[in-house]
Structure 1
Amino acid sequence: MGASLIVREYDPSWVQLFQQLRGFVIPVLSDFVVTIEHVGSTSVPGLAAKPIVDIDVVVPKQSDVLKAVQGLATLGYVHEGDLGVTGREAFIPPVNVTWHHLYVCTIDNAEYKRHILFRDYLRSHPEDAKQYGDLKLELAQRYQNDRLAYTNAKGDFVREILQRAGWK
């Protein structure tokens, strides 16, 4: 992955890519998965985003996380551990598949709940989504080679949206 940060105008093909990826992983997860959700900015119609699809694979309980890790490994996913987010396991996709972020967590995971709350709020408040998209386009220009600064600069807006959405 190149160092420079790219944020693009919304692309409806992101939804199709999510559907394809969901179809790719579901055979090894279908026995126990609760849901597979398209999260992150690519999941909000009209929202500018880094063109990388984020997927949350949600399982009932902690023991199912291990089953998911094993199942995904058979498809070529590489388990990266929680990357500092407790209870949410991250994966590197197989080499022959479009780059994306895939996470596995349990239904009661706080990060998952936050993802869904944020996504659903922006989906139902297009004016806030537009504002967020504009902010991201501007920040991506300003912090082209500094992902951390970009992420930190978005933080206040993200926290404000989560608060409005009822995050405690």
Structure 2
Amino acid sequence: MRIKDVIVLPYKEEWKQDFINIKKEIVEALGKLAIAVEHVGSTSVEGLAAKPIIDIDVVVKLDNMQKVIRALECIGYIHEGNLGIEGREAFAYEGKEHLQTHHLYVCPEDSEELKRHLIFRDYLRTHQDVREKYGSIKLEAAKLYPDDIDKYIDYKSPVIEEIYESMDGQL
């Protein structure tokens, strides 16, 4: 699912429960194939403005990837490949109207992309000043480019790069 309209909202407490609801279905389908199911992205950072889309990384052993793909397909997820980003497999879905809109990724446990997501999330959770600056830029970008996701991303990218630089050595 590729969004076109850009909607950024102030943090909503219900995003925690939205994640739990999605995670429950994933865990029921995957059982022990899932090492962890991580809430990542802006909705996982309390106090951060975000697009109301839950980002999820399912952590698996690389050897189990095909089993995981098949199990997710059985519950309505559609494997899309890595979409040009190594270290994760992306999934679209059908029949999930009862769940909050979400992006689902499956990552091998040693994935650099997974590591990047977790470190970025945890950094924003523990650095209020950075979180507030990033949230402000996101709200500003959404106002400037409400119907152009690419320009929205371009506008906020320098701040993301600045955050990565301030995380020096953690990635």
Give the superposition deviation at 1:162: 1.8
Q: Deviations over 1:74-109 (max 9, x none)?
A: 111111111111231111123234321000010111
The one-letter amino acid paired with 2:90 is A
Contact 2:42/2:121, CA 8 A, preserved across alignment? yes
TM-score scaled by structure 2? Answer: 0.92
Gaps of 5+ in 2: none
User: What CA distance in whole angstroms lies between the structure 2 residues aligned with 1:75 and 1:50?
Assistant: 25
Q: Deviations over 1:21-77 (max 9, x none)?
A: 00011022222221110000000000000000000001122x211111111011111
Match of residue 145 from structure 1: 147
Give the superposition deviation at 1:125: 0.7
- Check if 1:37 corresponds to 2:38: yes
Match of residue 116 from structure 2: 114
Gaps of 5+ in 1: none
Give the superposition deviation at 1:3: 2.9
User: What CA distance in whole angstroms lies between the structure 2 residues aligned with 1:73 and 1:2?
Assistant: 22
User: What CA distance in whole angstroms lies between the structure 2 residues aligned with 1:138 and 1:154?
Assistant: 9
Give the superposition deviation at 1:152: 1.6
Q: How many residues align?
A: 167
Contact 2:3/2:149, CA 8 A, preserved across alignment? no
Match of residue 129 from structure 2: 127
Percent identity at matched positions?
A: 44
Contact 1:93/1:100, CA 8 A, preserved across alignment? no
User: What CA distance in whole angstroms lies between the structure 2 residues aligned with 1:2 and 1:21?
Assistant: 19
TM-score scaled by structure 1? Answer: 0.93
